[in-house]
Amino acid sequence: MKTDQEILNRFQEIAREELLFEGEIKPGEDVFEQMSAAGEDCDDVLFKFTDEFEIDMSDFLFYFHYENEFATLLSNRSLGYIPITIELLVKAAQEKKWPVEYPDHKPPDWRRNPMLFYPVMILAIVVVIFAANFLTNVTLAL
């Protein structure tokens, strides 16, 4: 079994590889806040770490730990916030299972969020208009 320091060192190496993070991870503080990381960046680092240490992540719920890519539109902090500390990662690596027990909650339903619905719809309309214009130009060229 790896020592706590070896696990910390490997996590910092992964953070450097994935996020070009050059700082030192401080104990007792959220590792992703220390790195100013959110969404997919957190996923990239966390899942590379958990894959390497063969940690069962089947019970992991990201929305308790970090914001998604649409943090300003889809805040999840109302459910509660559980920081991912280096101590938590060490425990997960040693136990080979994500060690957090989450409170009872209703998972967020981001599909119903109007702040996300309108930008997605506008993007879809722009794509349809662009595709129609492109196909019309291709047809005229033939």
Indicate whether 69 and 21 sit together in one domain: yes
125 by DSSP, 3-state: which?
A: helix
Indicate whether 55 and 12 sit together in one domain: yes
Q: Compute the average pLDDT of residues 94-102.
A: 95
Indicate whether 119 and 129 sit together in one domain: yes
Indicate whether 10 and 70 sit together in one domain: yes
State which H helix or E strand residue 47 sits in.
Answer: helix 40-52
Indicate whether 26 and 45 sit together in one domain: yes
Q: Output the pLDDT for position 71.
A: 47
Indicate whether 21 and 71 sit together in one domain: yes
Name the residue range of residue 36's domain: 4-107
Q: pLDDT tens-digit profile of 18-57?
A: 998 888 889 999 999 999 888 889 999 999 999 999 999 9
**Amino acid type, 71:** A
Domain count of the fold of the chain: 2
| Spatial distance between the Cα atoms of 32 and 14, rounded to a whole number of angstroms | 12
Indicate whether 73 and 124 sit together in one domain: no
Indicate whether 100 and 142 sit together in one domain: no
pLDDT band at 2 (very low <50, low <70, confident <90, very high): confident
Residues with Cβ within 8 Å of 39's Cβ and at least 6 positions away in sequence, in order, are 66, 67, 68, 69, 71
97 by DSSP, 3-state: which?
A: strand
Q: pLDDT tens-digit profile of 57-66?
A: 999 988 888 8
Indicate whether 56 and 113 sit together in one domain: no
Indicate whether 79 and 96 sit together in one domain: yes
Indicate whether 101 and 34 sit together in one domain: yes
At 97, give phi and psi (nearest 5°): -150, 145
| Contact of 36 with 66, CB cutoff 8 Å | no
For tokens 């308790």, name the residue: 64
Indicate whether 71 and 134 sit together in one domain: no
Which residue(s) pair with 57 in the sheet? none
